[in-house]
């Protein structure tokens, strides 16, 4: 059974483009694995949506990744979806599910000394309290940063306008004097230069992507699902316009995305079951 399942790809999903940073980390760490990425670009952003809606969308995509794409493991690359939908996904899907919240909190806790870990994320991620719970005793200030995702998707990752908004949103982080700042949103690593300039060099910035990829590697090894040998394939699908996905995703992903498939929202909604 494990040998059969080991042939499947690793499925990764995000509300849109941001999870491409986790896809890149997986490709670098696990070059022999086939990867399938789903970006829900027609319904992005998730960060200001109600939790039950994010759970519903996540379940639809999880089912697509497992039933249609044959994934042997699912990575929830979206912080918002990890924060609110991880338990539902684990209850529903018959494959291991790994989220970025646990990975990010673990990486941040490893970096912190006597100080605290601040976390920034979308409104829904911060309101869920998921990072704060995962950081436990190390948790410091937690701040929602609306507006930053839009800058990244517009290709604006540096400059005075971006820095002014970051300085405004991160004022409570600066006031709290955290030792480590966890970038709890897929898009924030693209703004790391400006975030670092605002919080100061003494603050260590941590992003969950690499740690999540290590967790995947460990889990595949433990379950006998790892592949070795030839370079794996990449399949990319999105719910929105594939031309727009290529345009924005191509800027964020260091490599060739290949042909981008469109899976319309209606095709995902067909995958609803009694639990959604
Ligand atoms: N991918 C989302 C996250 O990491 C950010 C974009 C959105 O709000 O959908 O929380």
Residues 236 and 216 in one domain: yes
Q: How many CB atoms lie within 10 A of CB 250?
A: 15
Is 157 labelled a binding residue? no
Output the six-digit token pair for 206. Answer: 């941590």
Ligand 1 atom at minimal distance to the Cα of residue 44: 9
pLDDT at 276 over 50: no
Residues with CB under 6 A from ligand 1: 14-16, 18, 44-47, 78-80, 121-122, 125, 149, 185-187
Residues 161 and 146 in one domain: yes
192-201 residue pLDDT tens: 999 999 999 9
Question: Within the chain, where are the H helices?
Answer: 2-5, 20-29, 51-63, 79-92, 100-111, 123-128, 130-135, 148-153, 160-169, 171-176, 192-199, 209-222, 242-252, 265-269
Residues 135 and 115 in one domain: yes
Distance of CA 209 to the CA centre of its chain: 7
Residue 238 among the catalytic residues: no
Confidence of residue 59 (pLDDT cuts 50, 70, 90): very high
Residues 198 and 266 in one domain: no
Give the number of domains in the chain: 2
pLDDT at 4 over 70: no
Is 15 labelled a binding residue? yes
Residues 89 and 224 in one domain: yes
Ligand 1 atom at minimal distance to the Cα of residue 121: 10
Partners of residue 205 on adjacent β-strands: 181
Residues 204 and 110 in one domain: yes
176-219 residue pLDDT tens: 999 999 999 999 999 999 999 999 999 999 999 999 999 999 99
Distance (angstroms) between ligand 1 centre and the Cα of 148 equals 10
3-state SS record for 146-205: CCHHHHHHCCCCCCHHHHHHHHHHCHHHHHHCCCEEEEECCCHHHHHHHHHHHHCCCCEE
Provide the mean pLDDT of the chain. 95
Q: Which helix (H) or strand (E) holds 73?
A: strand 73-76
Closest CA relative to residue 164, chosen from 203, 197, 213: 197
Give the percent of the chain with pLDDT over 90: 94
Closest CA relative to residue 33, chosen from 2, 11, 17, 66: 11
- Residue 201's domain comprises 102-208
Residue 145 among the catalytic residues: no
Distance (angstroms) between ligand 1 centre and the Cα of 19 equals 8
Ligand 1 atom at minimal distance to the Cα of residue 80: 10
Which of 208, 241, 259 is the C-terminal boundary of a domain? Answer: 208
Residues 89 and 179 in one domain: no
Residues 167 and 44 in one domain: no
Domain CATH for 191 = 3.40.50.1860
Which of 208, 230, 262 is the C-terminal boundary of a domain? Answer: 208
Residues 157 and 220 in one domain: no
Residues 107 and 203 in one domain: yes
Residues 36 and 6 in one domain: yes
The residue assigned the tokens 């995509």 is: 61
Which of 188, 208, 228 is the C-terminal boundary of a domain? Answer: 208
15-49 residue pLDDT tens: 999 999 999 999 999 999 999 999 999 999 999 99
Residues 90 and 12 in one domain: yes
Pairing of strands 97-99, 35-39: unpaired
């Amino acid at each position: 059974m494990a040998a059969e399942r080991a042939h499947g790809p690793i499925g990764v999903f995000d509300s849109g483009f941001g999870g491409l940073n986790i896809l890149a980390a997986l490709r670098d760490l696990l070059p022999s694995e086939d990867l399938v990425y789903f970006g829900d670009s027609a319904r992005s952003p998730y960060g200001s949506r109600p939790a039950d809606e994010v759970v519903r969308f996540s379940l639809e995509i999880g089912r697509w990744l497992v039933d249609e794409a044959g994934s042997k493991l699912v990575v929830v690359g979206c912080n918002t979806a990890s924060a609110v939908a991880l338990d539902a996904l684990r209850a529903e899907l018959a494959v291991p599910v790994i989220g970025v919240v646990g990975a990010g909190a673990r990486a941040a806790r490893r970096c912190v000394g006597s100080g605290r870990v601040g976390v920034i994320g979308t409104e829904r991620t911060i309101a869920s309290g998921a990072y704060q719970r995962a950081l436990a005793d190390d948790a410091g200030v937690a701040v929602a940063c609306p507006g930053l995702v839009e800058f990244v998707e517009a290709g604006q990752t540096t400059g005075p306008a971006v820095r002014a908004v970051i300085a405004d949103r991160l004022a409570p982080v600066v006031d709290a004097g955290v030792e480590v700042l966890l970038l709890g949103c897929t898009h924030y690593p693209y703004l790391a230069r400006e975030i670092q300039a605002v919080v100061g060099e003494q603050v260590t910035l941590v992003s969950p992507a690499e740690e999540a990829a290590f967790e995947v590697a460990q889990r595949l090894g433990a379950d006998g699902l790892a592949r070795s040998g030839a370079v794996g394939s990449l399949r990319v699908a999105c719910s929105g316009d594939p031309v727009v996905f290529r345009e924005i995703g191509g800027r964020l992903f260091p490599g060739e995305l290949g042909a981008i498939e469109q899976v319309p929202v209606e095709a995902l909604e067909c995958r609803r079951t009694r639990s959604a």
